[in-house]
Amino acid sequence: MRNRILALILILALAALPTITQELGEASLLALATRILIYGMAAASLNFILGYGGMVSFGHAAFFGIGAYVVGILASHHASGEPLFGIVPGTDQMLLTLPLAVLVAGLFAAAIGALSLRTGGVQFIMITLAFAQMLFFLFVSLKAYGGEDGIIIRRTNALPGLNMRDKATFYYVVLAITVLFFYGLRRLTQSSFGTVISGIRQNERRMAAVGIPAYRYKLYAFVLSGMGAGLAGALMANFLRFASPDMMHWTKSGELMIMVILGGVGTLFGPFLGAAAFLILETFLAAWSEHWPFALGLILLVVVLGTRGGLAALVQRITALVRRGVK
C-alpha cells in the first residue's frame, strides 16, 4: 500500500514536470527528463537479464540501436515514398513503428541469444560484445542509410490526435509508456517465469535437478530484454529525430551497464535511478569541464564501494532510517 502511494506521488511529480520546467524557463530540463525515462527503460531491460537472470550482456546497445534504426529506416522510406525491399511501405505512425521496433529487436535478440547463450561467464560477455560490434560496423557500412552519419528523421512519429512536435506532448507519451513498461516489468519479475529465471541465476545446477532446461528460459529472458531495449531505442530515435551507429557502439553498452550498476543490480527501481544519476552527472559535469569522465569515474567508485548495492540500496537504507526515526 505504501509503495503504491509512493509510486502514485512519483508519477504525479513526473506528470507535473513539464509545467514546472516551463514556469522556470528551463526547457532543457524537460529534454533531460525525457532522456532519463528512455535510458531508464533501456537500463531496466538490461537489468532484467543481468540482475535477475545473471547474464552479463555487454552488447545490449545493439538492440537499442536496432530499435532506433527501425524507426529511422521506416521514416526514410516514408519520406522517399519507395517501399523497403520493394514491398514494405515506410511509415511515420508511432502505433506501427514502436511495435515493429520491438519485434525486430526481439528477432535480433533471439538470433544473438541463441548463439551467445551456448557459452557462459566471460565468453558470454565477449560474444555479446562481438555481436554488437558486428552490427555497429554493419550499419556503418550501410551507405543507403547514411553510413556512419546515420539517418536524420525529418519528423517525430505521429500519434493520432496528438501534436508530437510539442516537447511536452512527447514527454507525456514517453512517460505513459514508461509507466506501462515499469508495471509490466514488475509483473514479469513476480511471474512464474520471473521466479524461475531468478532461480537459474542463484543455482543453475539445482534448477536442472528440479527439471528446468536453463537454455530455453535464458533465451526467452534475453529476447524479452532485447525487446525492451528496442522499445527504448525507438523512442530515442523519435526524441533525437536521428538514428546512428553510435547508438549501438560498445561504449553505449558500457553506459547502460554503468547505469545498472550505479542504480543497483537486480532491483526494480535501480536502473531508473542509475540512468537519472548518470545523465544528470553527465550534463552538469560536462558543462563544468571537458574532463568530466574523470569526475564521473570517481563518483561511480564512491557509489559502488560506499553503498554496496547502488543507489537503490542507499535509498532503501535512508527510508528505513527515516521510518525508524518516525516510530
Partner 1 sequence: MSVILSIVGLVKTFGGLIATDNVSLDVREGEIHALIGPNGAGKSTLINQLCGELVSDAGTIHLAGRDITHLKTPDRVALGLGRTFQITSLLDELSVLENVGMAIQVREGHNFRIYDLARGRRAVWDEARGFVASSGLADRADIRVADLSHGEKKQLELIVALAMKPRLLLLDEPMAGLGHVESQAMIEMLSETRKSAAMLLVEHDMEAVFALADRISVLVYGRIIASGTVDEIRNNPAVREAYLGAEDELC
Closest contact distance (angstroms) between CB of 313 and partner 1 is 15
Closest contact distance (angstroms) between CB of 184 and partner 1 is 8
300 binds partner 1 (CB under 8 A): no
192 binds partner 1 (CB under 8 A): yes
Number of residues lying near partner 1 (CB under 8 A): 26
Three-state SS for 68-114 is: HHHHHHHHHHHHHCCCECCCECCCCEHHHHHHHHHHHHHHHHHHHHH
How far are the Cα atoms of 14, 20, 209, 255, 268 from residue 35, in angstroms, in the given order? Answer: 13, 17, 44, 13, 19
d(CA 69, CA 297): 30
Closest contact distance (angstroms) between CB of 308 and partner 1 is 16
212 binds partner 1 (CB under 8 A): yes
308 binds partner 1 (CB under 8 A): no
Closest contact distance (angstroms) between CB of 314 and partner 1 is 21
195 binds partner 1 (CB under 8 A): yes
**Which residues have a Cβ under 8 Å from the Cβ of 291 and sit 6 or more positions away?**
none
| Options 1, 5, 24, 210; binder of partner 1; rule CB under 8 A | 210
191 binds partner 1 (CB under 8 A): yes
| Rounded-to-10 torsion of CA 152, 155, 157, 160 | -170
Q: Which amino acid is at 5?
A: I
| Options 66, 224, 231, 237; binder of partner 1; rule CB under 8 A | 224
- Beta carbon nearer to partner 1, 129 or 185: 185
- At residue 255, the 3 state secondary structure works out as helix
d(CA 94, CA 70): 11
Backbone angles phi, psi at 243, to 5 degrees: -135, 130
Alpha helical stretches, state H, the chain? 2-24, 27-47, 61-80, 94-116, 121-141, 167-190, 192-202, 204-209, 214-240, 250-263, 270-288, 292-307, 310-326
| Options 81, 211, 306, 325; binder of partner 1; rule CB under 8 A | 211
309 binds partner 1 (CB under 8 A): no
| Options 24, 87, 144, 209; binder of partner 1; rule CB under 8 A | 209
The window from 79-87, 148-156, 207-215, 299-307 that contacts partner 1 (CB under 8 A) reads: 207-215
The window from 39-47, 67-75, 188-196, 294-302 that contacts partner 1 (CB under 8 A) reads: 188-196
| Options 104, 151, 173, 207; binder of partner 1; rule CB under 8 A | 207
Backbone angles phi, psi at 152, to 5 degrees: -90, 130
For the chain, how far is it from start to end, CA to CA, in angstroms?
18
205 binds partner 1 (CB under 8 A): yes
196 binds partner 1 (CB under 8 A): yes
The window from 36-44, 114-122, 173-181, 205-213 that contacts partner 1 (CB under 8 A) reads: 205-213
Q: Which residues bind partner 1 (CB under 8 A)?
A: 184, 187-188, 190-196, 198-199, 202-203, 205-213, 217, 220, 224
